[in-house]
Amino acid sequence: MKKLGLCLLVIAGLSGCSTTYLPDLDSSTAGSGSNTAGANQLMQEADTLNRQGKHALAREKLERALRLEKQNPYIWFSLAKTHEMEGNSGQAKNFALRAKSLSNNAQLTRNIDSFINSL
């Protein structure tokens, strides 16, 4: 019981320390897949801009994040979602497919599939 408590404490502590940004995805999609604080920061800024309706600026941030982590499917997916917010479903689908082609996370792939189906 003590061990279990300790484990929970460690897990809670670890998750408290984590600053990993969750892009606007299901909470089950663990993390932004980002390895760098730089890309994380840009994704956060893009998220804020998207919430403010400044989608073109958000795409600018995400494209910059992509230059830092080109293989990161979460950034491609965020770009897809931004295109969708702008009403550009064609590009949204293509970016989502690109994200899927780079994804090795089953949950993320499912999320992308349902996003594509919803377009």
Site string for another protein, 46-65 (x = CB under 8 A): ----------xx-xxx-xx-
For residue 76, give every residue at least 6 positions away whose Cβ sits within 8 Å of its Cβ, in sequence order, or none. Answer: 66, 95, 96, 98, 99, 102
Under the criterion CB under 8 A, does residue 24 sit at the interface with another protein?
A: no
Dist CA 93 CA 28 (whole Å): 21
| Tokens linked to 36 | 């760098």
Under the criterion CB under 8 A, does residue 42 sit at the interface with another protein?
A: yes
Interacting positions 69-98 with another protein (CB under 8 A) = 70-71, 79, 91, 94-95, 97-98
Q: What one-character DSSP code corresponds to residue 45?
A: H
Under the criterion CB under 8 A, does residue 35 sit at the interface with another protein?
A: yes
Query: From the CB of 13, what's the least distance to another protein, in Å?
Result: 21
Query: From the CB of 22, what's the least distance to another protein, in Å?
Result: 17
For residue 65, give every residue at least 6 positions away whose Cβ sits within 8 Å of its Cβ, in sequence order, or none. Answer: 34, 38, 39, 42, 43, 46, 72, 75
Name the residues that contact another protein, by CB under 8 A. Answer: 35-42, 56-57, 59-61, 63-64, 66-68, 70-71, 79, 91, 94-95, 97-98, 101-104
